[in-house]
Structure 1
C-alpha cells in the first residue's frame, strides 16, 4: 500500500516539476515532492510540498543558485493536483533557504529588470530634498559576515546634478543582531555635506533592516542572513496563497 502511495506521489511530483520547469527561463535541476496519496488528493489534502532547485533563472537576468522550500500540510484543488498543478485552497506556511552567489547578484543588479525596479532615493535634509539616481552598483561578498558595495549615483542637490562614487561595507541583520553600516567612503565626485551623509546612512540602515519582501502572492519574512565568501544565504519564512508560477511577470517588492 505504501508503494502505491509513493507511485501516486511520484506521478504528481513529476508533473509539477514539468509544469514549473516550463515556466522558468532556465533550470539546472528541480525536484518537487508532493507528500500525499490518492485518498488525500480526493479530499483536497496533502501533508506538504517540498521544492529543491539549483541554477534557477526566475526572471531575465535573475538567477538563484539554490533554493529549498518546505510547506506545512495544505488544502489543494483535487482536480488540478491530479495533473500536477498544485493550486492552494487556503494559504499555507512554509520555510525556505535561498543561496545567491556574488556573480549572480551582480548580474541581476545590471539587468534591465532590476534597473526598472530601482527608483530615485529622495532624502529630506534640513527641509530640502536631495535625490540619488543609481547609475551603477557592484557587490562583493568577502565573507566574515560582510557585504561590500561599490557604486555610482547622480546626486541632485539644490538644482545641481553631479556624479558621485562611493564604497560601503555593511553587515546585514541576523537573528541575533541588527544591520550595521561599518564604513561609507566617497570614492569620486568630491565630498558631500555631513548632513547629507548622516541622512543617507540613516536611510541605508533603514533599508538593511527591511523585515520582509513580496514575490508574487508570497510574503517572505527574513529570519536570518549569512554571508560566506562568494555567496549570500537567506533563511526565510513565508505564507503562500499559491505555489509560485515563476512567470515573466514576476514583481518583487520590499517593505
Structure 2
C-alpha cells in the first residue's frame, strides 16, 4: 500500500475504526485499512481489508493482546461501504495472527460469558455414557512449548457423580510433530479408569483432526500454535461471513 492513501480509502478506514471502537469495551490501539478505490466501491468490490489491534477487550473479560488480520479480495455492499460500514455480499477468506496472554486466557475462562458457552460432553465407554461437566479450568504457559492445564470437572458415570481434579501438561502440534500429552495426573476424586482415558483420548483426536471449527459467523482452522512464556501465538485461517460481525455481535 502506498504512503499516499486515496481519500476514499482513508474515509472508509477511519469510519470502520470508529464503528468497531464504539463496539469494544476497550482498545489500546486499532487500525483498519480498507484497500479499495471509488470505482471499486461503486462496483461492490475491495482488494482487501487489514486489521491490526492491541489490547482489545470484548464483553469486559475477553481480551486479545494483539491481532493482525488480512482478507482476500471481497465483494461488499456499496451503499453501506459509503458510510464506512463494510458489509460482505459473499463470505471472504482471511488469515490472522493472534496473541493471547496467560492472564487474559484465564480471565476469559473464568468469565460468565465463556463459562455459559462451555459445552458439557459425553463419552461412550464400552457402551456406557459418561458425562463431564466443567467446573473450573486454568491454563499456564511456562515456555518450552508446553501448555499446562489445571481443572475440576463433575464426572457422571454408573449413576454416580463425583468431583475430579486434574493437572495435564501437553504440547500443541507443530509442522513436524503431532500434539503430545506429556502427563495427566488426578489430584482429587480417586482417578479414572483406563477405558475412560482411552475414550477421552479418542475424542480429543477427533476434535484435533476436524478440518475446521465454527463459531458465531466464522469458520476457522488453527494452522499453527506457538507457546512462549506467558503467551500463546495462534496463526488462524478463517472464513468470515461479515466484517466485523464477529466482534460487534459480542457487544452488549
> So what's the TM-score if we normalise by structure 2?
0.91
| Deviations 1:15-41 (CA, angstroms, capped at 9, x unpaired) | 000011111222111100011122222
1:144 counterpart = 2:144: yes
Aligned structure 1 segments of 4 or more residues deviating by more than 6 angstroms: none
Corresponding residue number in structure 2 for 1:48: 48
CA contact (8 A) 1:108 1:114 kept: yes
Corresponding residue number in structure 2 for 1:100: 100
Corresponding residue number in structure 1 for 2:71: 71
Q: How far does residue 248 in structure 1 lie from its aligned partner after superposition?
A: 4.5
Q: How far does residue 4 in structure 1 lie from its aligned partner after superposition?
A: 7.8
CA contact (8 A) 1:59 1:248 kept: no
Q: Distance in 2 between matches of 1:142 and 1:214?
A: 29
SS at match of 2:27: coil
Q: Distance in 2 between matches of 1:36 and 1:164?
A: 55
1:80 counterpart = 2:80: yes
CA contact (8 A) 1:5 1:37 kept: no
Report 1:1-255 matches (<5 A).
6-245=6-245, 246-249=247-250
| Deviations 1:131-188 (CA, angstroms, capped at 9, x unpaired) | 1211111100111221100111111121111111111011112343322212111111
Deviates more, 1:48-57 or 1:198-207: 198-207
Q: How far does residue 198 in structure 1 lie from its aligned partner after superposition?
A: 2.2
Residues 1:3 and 1:79: Cα distance change in structure 2 (over 3 Å): farther
Deviates more, 1:126-135 or 1:196-205: 196-205
Q: Distance in 1 between matches of 2:93 and 2:128?
A: 44
Residues 1:52 and 1:249: Cα distance change in structure 2 (over 3 Å): closer
Which 5+ residue runs of structure 1 have no aligned equivalent? 251-255
SS at match of 1:89: coil
Q: Distance in 2 between matches of 1:26 and 1:231?
A: 20
Q: How far does residue 91 in structure 1 lie from its aligned partner after superposition?
A: 2.0
Q: Distance in 1 between matches of 2:190 and 2:230?
A: 31
Q: Distance in 1 between matches of 2:192 and 2:240?
A: 44
| Deviations 1:2-60 (CA, angstroms, capped at 9, x unpaired) | 88852221111000000111112221111000111222222222111100011112334
Aligned residues: 249
Q: Distance in 2 between matches of 1:173 and 1:21?
A: 35
Q: Distance in 1 between matches of 2:185 and 2:124?
A: 21
Q: CA RMSD in A?
A: 1.9
CA contact (8 A) 2:98 2:234 kept: yes
Which 5+ residue runs of structure 2 have no aligned equivalent? none
Q: Distance in 1 between matches of 2:145 and 2:4?
A: 47
